[in-house]
Amino acid sequence: MSEEQLRQIMKLYGEDVWNYIYFLTKSSDQADELAQEVFIKCYYRIGTYRGISSLKTWLFTIARNTVFSYRKSRFFRSGLWGGVQPLPAAAQKRQDAAGLAAVARSAEMEYLGNRQVDEIWGLIMSLPDKLREVLVLDLKAELSVREISELIGISPGTVKSRLHRARYKIQDKLRRME
């Protein structure tokens, strides 16, 4: 693999890998560090990629294993695992179907919308690890049930069950907030 090919892979999947690691670790600093490690491993181990799953799923498998290895390390056990970090603000330009800039919402509406999104992600981050992981892979990474199943190493039925429970818990918490 050339450095240019690695750059292309990082451009395509870098944000998804970083987000996945962030949701597993709840730390932006660790997500930065571990995402770099994932792409270093990708560079040196691309020869082991068999094409059975998508490249994205393969990268997520490396990311997941890297995070779990890091958690088992002495560094992690020594208590340096950071607390919950706020989600980085995603400044995205809204566009309509024709690709033209859509009418901007008022500052108040933008603030309230961002606040609600932050609250929902806060609820997602409070879920138990098993439920949070499948929900993030479904919502943020947009992986199929089959891909999540292969990545985590559980049956598709278990993935569906965890997704259902995670969604129910979030909906229940949102109802209580209202």
Query: How far is the C-alpha of 61 from the C-alpha of 42, rounded, in Å?
Result: 11
Read off the pLDDT of residues 11-49 as tens digits, 9 standing for 90 and up.
Answer: 999 899 999 999 888 888 889 999 999 999 988 888 888
Q: By mean pLDDT, which of 26-30, 48-52, 56-60, 160-164 is the weakest?
A: 48-52
Return the H-helix or E-strand segment holding 57.
helix 55-72
Q: DSSP code of 23?
A: H
Phi, psi of 101 (to 5 degrees): -60, 130
Average pLDDT, the chain: 77
Architecture of domain 107-177: Orthogonal Bundle (1.10)
74/154: higher pLDDT: 154
β-sheet bridge partners, residue 95: 101
Read off the pLDDT of residues 99-139 as tens digits, 9 standing for 90 and up.
Answer: 444 444 556 655 555 666 677 778 888 889 899 889 888 88
| b (16+ CB within 10 A) / e for 29-44 | ebbeebbebbbebbee
- Among 115, 174, 164, residue whose Cα is nearest residue 135: 164
Q: By mean pLDDT, which of 64-78, 94-108, 163-177 is the weakest?
A: 94-108
Residue ranges matching CATH 1.10.10.10 in the chain: 107-177
Residue ranges matching CATH 1.10.1740.10 in the chain: 3-77
Three-state secondary-structure class, residue 15: helix
Name which CATH class applies to 3-77. mainly alpha
| pTM exceeding 0.85 | no
